[in-house]
Structure 1
Amino acid sequence: MGSFRTLEPVSRKFGFDRGTPVDRMYMDHFLQMHKTDITGHVLEVGDNQYTKKYGHNIKRSVILRGNAKGSECYDGDLTDQETLKTLGQYDCLIATQVFNFIFDVPAAIKGLDMLLRKGGTGLITVAGLSQISRYDFDRWGDYWRFTTLSAKKLFDAHFGAGKTEIKSYGNVLVATGFIQGMAGEEFSHEELFYIDPDYQIMIAIKIKK
């Protein structure tokens, strides 16, 4: 890993310029573990890359994002239920690294609940230890970093205890490299997936409504 005794990181691009960002590898691992839930009517926030990658028996794939374009791409805001009323409900909702950039997280959780039908599954990831995303910070905001405890309290407060499964990814070695901008390929599989709950790079949340 070399010396980190410097005021400049290895990279400010989360590892994109060196390979695959560490948190993207964690997202893939989480969604692959729960790919059987990605079925039927699926809504994904931002784009539908994970619906395409892990979904099966997809009847409808919908994208929710601002400034939406396309027949199955809708302009909506999880914190504003008025913008969600025409979207219906879904068997699965995927939102990766979205809640960090929403100031009113409880309102967004209510919006997520509105979009999930009874028996539906929410697959959510949020950042823990991470640098600021300057692109988002300067446009709509980069507000929060989460822990398994804060995520559990937020989602349990709305859905109720027993409806959520929450786990963390990360350890001190990978957290140090990730903050510096190293890519996932620069670590072994064993290093990447050794879990130390005191160094939570990413939090993964599964909701069963």
Structure 2
Amino acid sequence: MSASSATNRGASSPRRDHHMPGLPTAVRRWRPGFLTSSRRVTLRRLLRPAPLGLLLRRGPVSRSWGFDRGLPIDRYFIERFLGLRSADIAGRVLEVKDDGYTRRFGGDAVTSAEVLDIDAGNPAATVIADLTDAPQIADDSYDCVLLTQVLHLVYDMPSAVRECHRILKPGATLLVTMPALSRCSGELQHSDFWRITPAGARRLYGDVFGAENVEVLAYGNAVLGAAFLMGVASQEVGARLLRQHDPLFPILVTIRATKAR
């Protein structure tokens, strides 16, 4: 539906609220006259109190994203995304820092697993390069580039995305995960620059790969977001909550971008 048709449709019928879909606006907005604004706020707090255990804490239950308690919540969604896109992880694959996810999700389909790092001291690195400018990597080199929780640490993200596009073969795929919500890195706090929204991801990658070649998904909800910031592990929140996703409260944004043939 076009924007104009959506506008016209909205003008011809009473607006609906997604919390009370059956009530017209006038009824939904009615408030008892005897309740002042401050009393309504107080009543809302009484009817929907904040979790006491959370407010009594002086800090998170884990300062390592929950790794010391199990699998962090964001890692649960990262691995779910890679599992769903494992068919893309094949041929000559480039990953950053190490090749753990390449080997785990690509398996025998991977013919060459290469590791990029700007740090020459990384013994796992096979390519020493800056992701924003890597002239030592030839055009059209890789069948898949895998970037999990990397690009928020790169100040010049657009240049990094353009460089990934350049080094991919035509028809090849870039798989990316980026935080929408996360604590800051202690080790890399001076280069922990960005968080991204689904809209931001669509624009960032669509400008380079073409909007029709980019798929963006968001994972998470408000409760999971609070739990993740507190360092609660995925095993502690339950499978049902992990299946509930609220587009207004994403924790993780995933991107699948394909280079046009």
How does the TM-score come out when normalised to structure 1?
0.93
Residue 164 in 1 paired to residue 217 in 2? no
Bigger Rg over Cα: 2
> Residues of 2 paired with 1:2 and 1:32: CA distance?
37
Alpha-carbon distance, 1:58 to partner: 1.4
Q: Percent identity?
A: 34
In structure 1, C-alpha distance between the alignment counterparts of 2:73 and 2:131, rounded to whole Å: 26
RMSD: 1.8
Please name the residue that 1:94 is paired with: 146
1: CA distance, partners of 2:235 / 2:192: 26
Q: CA deviation at 1:67?
A: 2.4
Match of 1:74 among 106, 121, 127: 127
Q: CA deviation at 1:72?
A: 6.5
Tell me, which stretches of 5 or more residues in structure 2 are unaligned? 1-50
Equivalent residue for 1:9, pick from 35, 41, 60: 60
Residue 73 of structure 2 corresponds to: 22
2:156 paired residue number: 104
Report how many residues are paired. 206
CA–CA distance in 2 between the matches of 1:156 and 1:81?
A: 21
Q: CA deviation at 1:193?
A: 2.2
1:22 corresponds to which letter in structure 2?
Answer: I
- Report the Cα offset of residue 77 of structure 1: 1.1
Alignment of 1:1-209 (within 5 A): 3-5=53-55, 6-55=57-106, 56-68=108-120, 69=122, 73-82=126-135, 84-86=136-138, 89-138=141-190, 141-209=191-259
Q: Counterparts of 1:64 and 1:43 in 2: how far apart (Å)?
A: 7
Q: Give yes or no for contact 1:101–1:142 (8 Å, CA) kept in 2.
A: yes
How far, CA to CA, are the matches of 2:186 and 2:53 in structure 1?
25
Assess if the C-alpha contact under 8 Å between 1:61 and 1:72 holds in 2.
Answer: no
Please give the secondary structure, in 2, of the residue aligned with 1:95: strand
Distance change (3 Å), C-alpha of 1:72 and 1:134: closer
Give the distance between the partners of 1:109 and 1:98, measured in 2 at CA.
11
Go from structure 1 to structure 2 and tell me whether the alpha carbon gap of 1:72 and 1:175 turns closer, same or farther (over 3 Å shift). closer
Cα distance in 2 for partners of 1:112, 1:16 equals 29
Contiguous gaps of at least 5 residues in structure 1: none
TM-score normalized with structure 2 length: 0.75
1:86 positional shift: 5.0
**Relative contact order, higher structure (CA 8 A, sep 6+):** 1
Query: Shift in Å at residue 71 of structure 1?
Result: 8.1
Note if contact 2:139-2:168 (Cα within 8 Å) is conserved in structure 1. Answer: no
Higher strand share: 1
Shift of the alpha carbon at 1:33?
0.1
Cα distance, 1:66 vs structure 2:
2.3
Deviation at 1:70, TM superposition (A): 5.2
Secondary structure of the residue that 1:18 maps to in structure 2? coil
Rounded Cα–Cα distance in structure 2 between residues aligned with 1:188 and 1:8: 22
